[in-house]
């Protein structure tokens, strides 16, 4: 049994997401940083689908009734066990009645806590992910609060031990981010100058949550005042509303929107979005679909290698 003794700014249970229900208006949700989520489960021998705790901005604190193997990945929130600082991107054994505390993120925005076996909360539409917009999944469909009690599940895959990722497998977090982008379904509706500015100038993150990221910078003009019929929208879409400033679509987004999409952030780069803070800067780099597919293959090969190393 694990008790929440400090709730943090926005702390939820997440897994790989709720797939297959977007046609009915249900967002996928799931961990914002898919890489940190996968590594959190790899480090403790969990199934790839096991639920973890996602913390945003400022971390939470937990008390463990029994000795428990846990993992810490993502943003550096200066985690400590009974007052002793522990390494990020690693697994550690929490002693019986031990307390694990996270502070405010000093680098990155979202941290992930995995426990050996995952968290025992009900599956809703095949996922344990929290979607607060509909108050479903996770623990009662809400953020974790002080006094909540969590139980450990049985989502283990292989034996596990205390270990850590190698330096080469740990992402480098920054205050400036370059995101690769493929053309969107409405790129052709924008002036050529607007598309050039979008890929050549820098944008500032002004708001960031699980629905979307708002950016400030050059305003982008369309060729004409074209009404875009609402259509399906996926993770990483970059939408341009009437104000001309981009929005980046995040996991808890609505499944259909009526804004033109100038591009899509490639899948392997979205974890960078998850770790970008308000005040960070973003520059977009145009790439082909072939480049996006090649990057995904490289990521999957690296993931299989890491699983073998940690197994």
Domain end point (choices 134, 154, 169): 169
Number of H helices, E strands in the chain: 4, 20
Provide the token pair at 20. 């297959």
Q: CB of 67 within 8 A of CB of 103?
A: no
Q: Per residue of the chain (311 residues), what is the pLDDT tens digit?
A: 999 999 999 999 999 999 999 999 999 999 999 999 999 999 999 999 999 999 999 999 999 999 999 999 999 999 999 999 999 999 999 999 999 999 999 999 999 999 999 999 999 999 999 999 999 999 999 999 999 999 999 999 888 999 999 999 999 999 999 999 999 999 989 999 999 999 999 999 999 999 999 999 999 988 876 667 888 899 999 999 989 999 999 999 999 988 999 999 999 999 999 999 999 999 999 999 999 999 999 999 999 999 999 97
DSSP 122-152: --BTTB---BTTTTBSTBTTB---TT-EE-B
Domain presence at residue 122? yes
Residues 105 and 46 in one domain: yes
Q: For position 226, what pLDDT does the model report?
A: 63
Residues 266 and 140 in one domain: no
Q: For position 53, what pLDDT does the model report?
A: 98
**Residues of the domain holding 104:** 2-169
Residues 73 and 9 in one domain: yes
Q: Could you tell me the end-to-end alpha-carbon distance of the chain, in angstroms, rounded to an integer?
A: 26
Domain presence at residue 94? yes
Residues 114 and 206 in one domain: no
Residues 124 and 232 in one domain: no
Q: For position 238, what pLDDT does the model report?
A: 97
Domain presence at residue 310? no
Q: For position 145, what pLDDT does the model report?
A: 97
Q: For position 162, what pLDDT does the model report?
A: 94
**The model's pTM:** 0.95
Domain presence at residue 254? yes
The enclosing domain of 286 has a CATH number of 2.40.100.10
């Amino acid at each position: 049994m694990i008790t929440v003794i400090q709730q943090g700014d926005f702390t939820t249970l997440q897994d790989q997401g709720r797939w297959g229900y977007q046609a009915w208006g249900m967002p996928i949700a799931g961990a914002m940083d898919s890489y940190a989520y996968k590594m959190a489960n790899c480090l403790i021998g969990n199934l790839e689908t096991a639920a973890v705790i996602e913390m945003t901005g400022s971390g939470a604190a937990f008390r463990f009734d029994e000795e428990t193997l846990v993992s810490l990945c993502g943003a550096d929130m200066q985690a400590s066990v009974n007052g002793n600082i522990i390494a990020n991107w690693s697994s550690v054994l929490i002693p019986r009645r031990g307390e694990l505390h996270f502070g405010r993120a000093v680098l990155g925005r979202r941290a992930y806590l995995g426990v050996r076996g995952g968290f025992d909360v009900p599956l809703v539409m095949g996922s344990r992910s929290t979607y607060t917009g509909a108050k479903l999944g996770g623990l009662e469909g809400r953020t974790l609060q002080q006094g909540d009690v969590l139980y450990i599940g049985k989502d283990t895959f292989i034996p596990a031990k205390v270990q850590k990722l190698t330096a080469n497998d740990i992402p480098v977090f920054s205050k400036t981010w370059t995101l690769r982008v493929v053309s969107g379904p409405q790129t052709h509706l924008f002036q050529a100058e607007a598309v050039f500015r979008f890929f050549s100038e820098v944008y500032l993150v002004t708001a960031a949550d699980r629905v979307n990221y708002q950016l400030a910078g050059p305003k982008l003009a369309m060729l004409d005042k074209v009404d875009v019929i609402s259509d399906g929208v996926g993770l990483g879409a970059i939408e341009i509303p009437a104000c001309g400033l981009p929005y980046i679509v995040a996991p808890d987004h609505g499944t259909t929107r009526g804004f033109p999409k100038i591009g899509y952030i490639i899948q392997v780069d979205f974890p960078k979005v998850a770790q970008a803070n308000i005040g960070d800067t973003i520059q977009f780099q145009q790439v082909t679909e072939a480049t996006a597919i090649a990057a995904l293959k490289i990521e999957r090969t690296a993931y299989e290698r890491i699983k073998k190393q940690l197994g």
